[in-house]
Amino acid sequence: MDTMIEPEKSSLRRAAPRLMQILRVLARRKFLMALFGKGHWPPPKQVRETFEELGLTFLKFGQVLAMRRDLLPDAYIKELELLHDHLPPMGFDTVRATVEAELGAPLTELFSSFSKTPLAAATIAQVHKATMHGGRHVAVKVQRPGLKAMISKDIAALTYLVALGDKLSSRLRALDLPVVVHEFANTLNREIDFTREARSIILIRGALADVPDLWIPDVVAEYSRKTVLTMEYSAGERVDLYAKLHAEAMPRVINTLVKLMLQSIFEEGVFHADPHPGNIFVLPDGRLSLLDFGMTGDLDDPMRESLILLLEAVVKGDARAATEAYLEMAPASEEVNRAALLVDIKTTLYEVGKSDLANVSIGDAFESLLHAGTRNGVHNPGEFFLLTRAFVLLESLVSLLAPDHNYMESFREEISRLTAKHFSPGRIRQKTTKLMRELERLVEDAPGDTRRILRRIAEGNLGRLPSLEALGGRLSRNLGRLTGAIAFAALVIGGSMLLMTPMSSWHDILGEAMLISGIVGMLITGIGALRRDNSQG
């Protein structure tokens, strides 16, 4: 992908001019004295002003650090949250040139009208209202020119600076900033690639197609490229302004917000990570409109499975289950102090448990998990930070729209619905079928793979090893037994899930049948294996 920012491939010579500019600013702001351990860190306000002075990339980096409550004191977090990303708008000639270069035609051929005044201007892009020749009203998002080169230099300079700080300061070393910078570069890669944003919109539209009272503008694919994104125009009012005049509509609005957040996470694994009031509008007919998908998170299937278990454990106050689910979401590491982590999570969930359900905050609970994980050696995945940010912003928005509304009741109802759907017979059958296909492929490939490995060993310096060939034969036979055992275990697990999920009576009957079939099958497989082993002994 030609928009990738790869700081590790950037030479020090290329980054040196920008690095010197940054060092001069840091020296004037008295950061360098603290870096060498000869002074205190500048106050929070000065830190924020420093990021603003260093420009676009550092504005974005400061916003990323504002999400890292597990690394920085609250005073710095609050100040970094004030970082704004509004810049003076680009001139119209620049906008015209960018659109025409990307779409390959003059602006007058592409649109019957194109507003010269932007609807909004931010660090990455600005948005203009336009009308297509067929009369369709659209919003055109146009990226600022030269972003890739500028960000690449800044990331390269930031990478060297962080590496230097890691060597000189134990205080900086404790923040694990090289990992933060790497994740930050990945975030910027995604944000400056509008083709990715278009894919996210399409996925989220599909996942939320059946959510009532919600409209997400469609992508105009033929007028969208890497630096130009054209979408349907959303004519509405910001949700916070709408709430002041329509307080009676807020319970319905909040239920829709909760549904769209949870359903997009669990159905497609793609979620909007920036649900602040400026990105949520209310249309004239009362439906919600979700905008700006530049910051989205992606969860793969295993992470979604673990997240479901984590959310259930947090709501129920089950610290052990929460710890296991949390560790499944994080990259494996031998540095994790599991015992201490369990104690910290127990403390977190105790605070959740003694609170009234209406006052429980999923965002705060996730932030506490991040704190506990960082203290005990967990390398938190970047998507978990985005997810935490999304819940924190959502809960803040709910408090703004309707301070007395029981947000957690809506949350619990939607989690119950999604959990029941997740453990439905159809979903279990689908997963079991997928497991069986993978096992069938494994069984088919294993004997040939075993023979090829043994042949290579036999043709090498070790000579022929008949005992290994015999071992290969036994492995192939045992693999067949293992396949059967795993298939029967899947029936046991599926049946148990159905029995544990409170649904209709026929679910219980199906669950019992699956459970009994699985247990009987495992017994038959085990007895058969014992007989074969005894006959060969």
Task: Write out pLDDT tens, residues 286-305.
Answer: 999 999 888 888 888 888 88
Confidence at 116, pLDDT banded by 50, 70, 90: very high
CA distances in angstroms from 209 to 204, 260, 268, 280, 413, listed in the order given: 8, 10, 12, 17, 19
| For range 437-458, the mean pLDDT | 59
Q: Is the pLDDT of residue 129 over 90?
A: yes
CA distances in angstroms from 12 to 63, 75, 151, 160, 186, listed in the order given: 26, 34, 15, 8, 20
Residues with Cβ < 8 Å from 499, sequence gap 6 or more? 508, 511, 512, 515
Hey, how many other C-beta atoms are within 10 angstroms of the C-beta on 82?
12
CATH classification for the domain delimited by 91-144+193-233, as one of 3.30.200, 1.10.3470, 2.30.30, 2.60.120: 3.30.200
pLDDT reported for residue 297: 84
Question: Is 228 in contact with 211 (CB distance < 8 Å)?
Answer: no
Question: Is 516 in contact with 536 (CB distance < 8 Å)?
Answer: no
**Helix crossing, 12-28 with 44-54: angle to 10°?**
140
pLDDT tens by residue, 469-491? 444 555 455 555 555 556 656 66
The domain limits of the chain are 7-84+149-191, 91-144+193-233, 235-419, 425-536
The structure tokens 């295993």 sit at 302
**CB burial of residue 151 (10 Å; 0-12, 13-18, 19+):** buried
Confidence at 76, pLDDT banded by 50, 70, 90: confident
Q: Pick the catalytic residue: 154, 274, 318, 364?
A: 274
Q: Is the pLDDT of residue 468 over 60?
A: no
Percent of the chain with pLDDT over 70: 68
pLDDT reported for residue 335: 77
Lowest mean pLDDT among 316-330, 466-480, 515-529: 466-480
CA distances in angstroms from 222 to 110, 132, 218, listed in the order given: 10, 12, 12
3-state secondary structure of 91: coil
pTM: 0.68
Structure tokens at 376: 């005990």
3-state secondary structure of 40: coil
The structure tokens 């999570």 sit at 345
Q: Give kind and range of the element (H or E) at residue 126.
A: strand 125-132
pLDDT reported for residue 138: 97
Give the chain's mean pLDDT: 77
Establish whether 274 is a catalytic residue: yes
Confidence at 40, pLDDT banded by 50, 70, 90: confident
Structure tokens at 324: 């296991």
